Every structure is written in structure tokens, then in C-alpha cells.
Structure 1
Amino acid sequence: MQSTRVTFPDGSTTGEGEVLLVDRDASVVVVDVTPFHPEDHTWPDQPGDVGSLVSGDVRATVSEAVMAAVSDEGVLAVGGDIPVKRGGEGWTWLVGHRIEGGIPEQVAVGAPVTLEVDAGRRAALSRGHTACHLASLALDAVLADLWRKQIGTDPLGNPDFEGRANQTSRIHADGSVDEYRLGKSLRKAGFDSEGFAASLAEREERINEQLASWVASAAASCVDVEGPRIIDRRSWRCELPEGEVGFLCGGTHVHSLAEFASITVSLDLGDPQLLVMTTRATPALG
């Protein structure tokens, strides 16, 4: 069995494929090529796509797309049960389609199927993911003066607060929630946590000004791929006025920042040790 080929990086939401594996106990179907984006089991920031799998006159509901893997010994593991990181040796990496209500008999190994992703939900998640990345870049830029020591930089050359402090990121329809740990290790790295807390409202305003400028630029955005397989490296890229930015990312994204009417963030330091950044994207009309 070969690793699943995926078409979602270019924005595809429909496709044809052949069933390679059916696990009726787990209610999971694996197809040779799919437009479905799966949730990553090691960094589950973007939820898996939902939609339909059609075989002949039978339409089955795909309740979730997940990562799956088959060991060299033939053992199938799905989602959080996969015992190794994506791409680990000794495993073939797949996209699993969880079928709601049980897998119809017509869906069997070798059967041709049509795959249809919920395009509206995908678009909303793509906006949420792109907005999340832009918000993190704006956050880095606005916090740059709070570093007393040299640390690594982000794609725009600013101190990489995101890379240093982010502990969780959750993408949802038209937005995201990111949590950043402001503990002792960050202070030792040279970050002025007290100065940040004292200027929180002003920095939130500056982040939103930066995001408004980027949205107004209508910059092109895309996902670059190194190959068609689910385990091949993918990167998000965006042509911002300050220069092209990009970093490794397995999710889906908009094609242009013109797809946004606005992107805004709110910063919460209710716990002085934990910054919560909530990002909201408003889609453009039409």
C-alpha cells in the first residue's frame, strides 16, 4: 500500500478515488487519493474536513478526516492511537475517513468512490488558519522591543515570540485561539513580561492596525508542496508588503487576503503566566 495522495493543498474539495482499506470496526475508509484534509495527530491545530463519500447510489457521511497509518506488520492505527510521529519509519501514512453510522456494504476494497468535502466549512477553516499565522507575525512584530537578548527570528526578521512561547493553537471556523506561556524560562530568555502586561491594550491596538494593513494589501497566499503524499512537506506562503513570508504548515489556507473583510485579535492576560490571543476573521462579501 502506498501513502495517500492529497489534493487539498491547492484548495480542492472534490475528487475521485479507489478504496484501498476498510476497517468496519473503526468505521474508517482509506482511499488512494483524497481532497480531505485530516487532523494531524501530533499537532491537532486544524480540525479534519467533513463531507461525503459516494459509491454508486449510496452516499455516506464523513464525520471527520484523520491521520491513519499501517505498520510494516500490517497493524492499522488511527488518529491519537498512532504511536509515532508523522513520517516515522516502519509505517505507511494514510488519510482515514470516519464514516458516520457504519460503512455501507457497497464501500469495499477496490470500489471507485467520489469524495466531497463540505466546502463552506473548509473555506472558514482556511480563513481561520491564515488569520492565525498573520496574527502570530503581527504579535511578534509588536513585541519586538520587549526582548533584552537576541533570540531566533520569525520570517519577517522579528524576535520569534511565537516560536518561543506558543504552547497550544486551535483553529476554528473564521478564527483561532492561541496560548503562550509567559513563565520563568521566557524571562530568562530576555522577555520583559512586566513591560508587556503594562502595555497590553496599546499592543493589541497596534497588532490590529498591522492586520488591517495586511488585509488591505490583498496579498497572495498559497500552500507550497514538495510532493503529493500526505507526509510530504507543505509550507504556507504569503506575499506581504514587507516581503514574502512562509513556514512549514500542514493545514489549508486562503488564496488571497482579499478573502477577508478584516482580521482582529484580542489579548487576555487574566493569568499573568498565560497570554491568550483570540483571532477573529470576517470574510469578505461576495
Structure 2
Amino acid sequence: MESTRITFPAGSLQGDGEVLIIDREIAVVIGDATPFHPVDHTWPDQPGDVGTLSVGDAQVVVTEAVMAAVSDDGVLAVGADIPVKRGADGWTWLVAHRIEGELPPEISVGSVVTLEVDAEHRAALSRGHTACHLASLALDAVLADLWRKEIAMDPLGNPDFEGKANQSSRIHADGSVDEYRLGKSLRKAGFDSEGFAGSVDERETRINALLAEWVAAGGESRIEVDGPNISDRRTWRCELPGGEVGFLCGGTHVRSLTEFAAITVSLDLSDPQLLVMTTTAVPA
């Protein structure tokens, strides 16, 4: 068995695939190809696509696409039950489609099914994911002067606060919520937490001004792939006024920043040890 071929990086919403595995106990269908983006089991920031799976007039609802893997000795693991990170040796990586209700007899192992993604749901999550990345880059830029020691740089050449402090990221339709730990280890790394606490409102304003500038520029956004399979690396790239940015990302994204009317953030430091950044995207 080979890894699932995927077409979502190019923006595909529909495609055909041959059914390879049906597990009725956990209600999943796995094929050799899919346009569905699955939620990642190790960093579940973007939810999986939803939609339908059909053969002729027989159709079932896909409630969520998730990662799956089959070990070399034939053990199937799905979603959070996968015991290894994606790409680990000894496993074949797949996309599973969680289904609702009973499977009609037309959908069976060996049948060719049509898979169709809910376009509105995908578009809203793609806007949320792109906005999340842009917000993190803007956050890095606006906090750059608060570092007293050298740390790794982000794609725009600013100290990578995102990479150093982010502890969780949750993308939803047209937005995201990111949490950053501002504890002792970050202060030891050279971050001026007190200086940040005294200037949160002013920095929020500067982040939103930078995001407005980027949205107004309307740069291209795209996903580059190392190969056709779910196990292959994918990189998000985006044109910004300061140059092109790019970093590894397994999710979906808009094609252009012209798809936004606005992107804004709000910063919450109610807990001095925890920054919560809420990002909101307004579609054009």
C-alpha cells in the first residue's frame, strides 16, 4: 500500500479515489487519493475538511478528515491513536474520512468513489490559517525590540517569538487563537516580559497597522509540495512588501491576500504568564 495522494495543496475540492480500507467499527473510509485536508494528529491546529463521499446516487457525509497510518505489520491507527509522528519509518501514511451513518453497498473496498469537500468550510479555514501565520509574523516584528539576547530568526528576519513561546494554536473559520507562554524560560532567553506588559495596547495597534499594510498589498499566497503524497513536505509561501516568506506547513491557505478585507488581532495578557492572541479575518 502506498501513501494517500492528495490534491488539496493546489486548492482542489473534488476528486475520485479507489477505496482501499473500510473500518466499520470506527466508521472510516480510506482511499488511494483525496482532495480532503486531514487534521494533523501531532499538531492539530487546523480542523479537517468536511464534505461527501459518493458512488452514483449513493452518498455519505464525511464529518471530518483525519490522519491515519498502517504499520508494516498491518495495524491501522487513526487520528489521536497513531503512536508515532508523521513520517516515522515502518508506517504508511494515509487520509481517513470519518463518515456519518451506514455505508451503502455501492461503497466498498475496490469501488471508485467521488470525494467532494465543502467549499465554504475549506475557504473559511484557509483564511483562518493564512491570517494566523501573518499575525504571528506581525507579532514577531512588533516584539523584536524586546529581546536582549540573540535567538533564531523568523522568515522576515525578526527574532522568532512565535517559535520560542507558542504553546498552542487553534484555527477556526476566519480566525485563530494562539497561546504563548511568558515564563521563566522565555525571560532567560532574553525576552523583556515586563517591558511587553507595559506596552501591550500600543503593540497591538502596531500589529494591526502592519497587517493592514500587508492585506492592502494583496500578495500571492501558495503551497509548494515536495511530492504528491500526504507524507511529503509542504511549504506555505506568501509575498509581502518586505519580501517573500515561507515555512513548513501542512494546512490549506488562500491564493492571494486580496481574499481579505481585513485581518486584526487582539492581545490578552490577563495572566502575566500567558499571552493569548485572537486573530480575526474579514473576507473580501
- TM-score bracket relative to the smaller structure: over 0.9
Gaps of 5+ in 1: none
Equivalent residue for 1:177?
Answer: 177
Deviation at 1:8, TM superposition (A): 0.2
Instruction: Summarize the alignment of residues 112-191 of structure 1 with structure 2, pairs less than 5 Å apart.
Output: 112-191=112-191
Equivalent residue for 2:75?
Answer: 75
CA distance in 2, matches of 1:73, 1:155: 41
CA distance in 2, matches of 1:20, 1:277: 42
Q: In structure 2, what residue type is equivalent to 1:12?
A: S
CA distance in 2, matches of 1:263, 1:117: 25
Instruction: Summarize the alignment of residues 198-209 of structure 1 with structure 2, pairs less than 5 Å apart.
Output: 198-209=198-209
Instruction: Summarize the alignment of residues 7-46 of structure 1 with structure 2, pairs less than 5 Å apart.
Output: 7-46=7-46
Equivalent residue for 2:220?
Answer: 220
Deviation at 1:102, TM superposition (A): 2.9
Q: Deviation per CA, 1:69-100, whole angstroms, max 9, x where unpaired?
A: 11111111000000000011111100000011
Which runs of 4 or more aligned residues in structure 1 lie more than 2 Å from their structure 2 counterparts after TM superposition? 102-105
Deviation at 1:57, TM superposition (A): 1.4
CA distance in 2, matches of 1:236, 1:102: 37
Q: Deviation per CA, 1:87-128, whole angstroms, max 9, x where unpaired?
A: 111111000000111322221111011000000000000000
Deviation at 1:184, TM superposition (A): 0.1
CA distance in 2, matches of 1:221, 1:183: 34
Equivalent residue for 2:194?
Answer: 194
Q: In structure 2, what residue type is equivalent to 1:105?
A: P
CA distance in 1, matches of 2:270, 2:58: 51
RMSD (Å) for aligned C-alpha atoms: 0.5
Deviation at 1:283, TM superposition (A): 0.1
Q: In structure 1, what residue type is equivalent to 2:108?
A: A
CA distance in 1, matches of 2:141, 2:56: 53
Identity of aligned residues (%): 76
Q: Deviation per CA, 1:179-216, whole angstroms, max 9, x where unpaired?
A: 00000000000000000000000000000000000000
Q: In structure 2, what residue type is equivalent to 1:119?
A: A
Give the aligned length. Answer: 284
CA distance in 2, matches of 1:184, 1:117: 44
Instruction: Summarize the alignment of residues 37-116 of structure 1 with structure 2, pairs less than 5 Å apart.
Output: 37-116=37-116
Q: In structure 1, what residue type is equivalent to 2:239?
A: E
Tell me the secondary structure at the aligned position of residue 135 of structure 2: helix
CA distance in 1, matches of 2:188, 2:71: 43
Q: In structure 2, what residue type is equivalent to 1:89?
A: D
CA distance in 1, matches of 2:166, 2:16: 38
User: If the length of structure 1 is used for normalisation, what is the TM-score?
Assistant: 0.99
Comparing 117-126 with 96-105, greater Cα deviation is found at 96-105
Tell me the secondary structure at the aligned position of residue 126 of structure 2: helix
Equivalent residue for 1:271?
Answer: 271
CA distance in 1, matches of 2:57, 2:20: 20
Q: In structure 1, what residue type is equivalent to 2:85?
A: K
Deviation at 1:56, TM superposition (A): 2.1
Tell me the secondary structure at the aligned position of residue 232 of structure 2: coil
> Does 2:245 align with 1:245?
yes
Q: Deviation per CA, 1:4-58, whole angstroms, max 9, x where unpaired?
A: 0000001101111111111111111011110000000000000000000011210
Q: Deviation per CA, 1:136-174, whole angstroms, max 9, x where unpaired?
A: 000000000000001110000000000000000000000
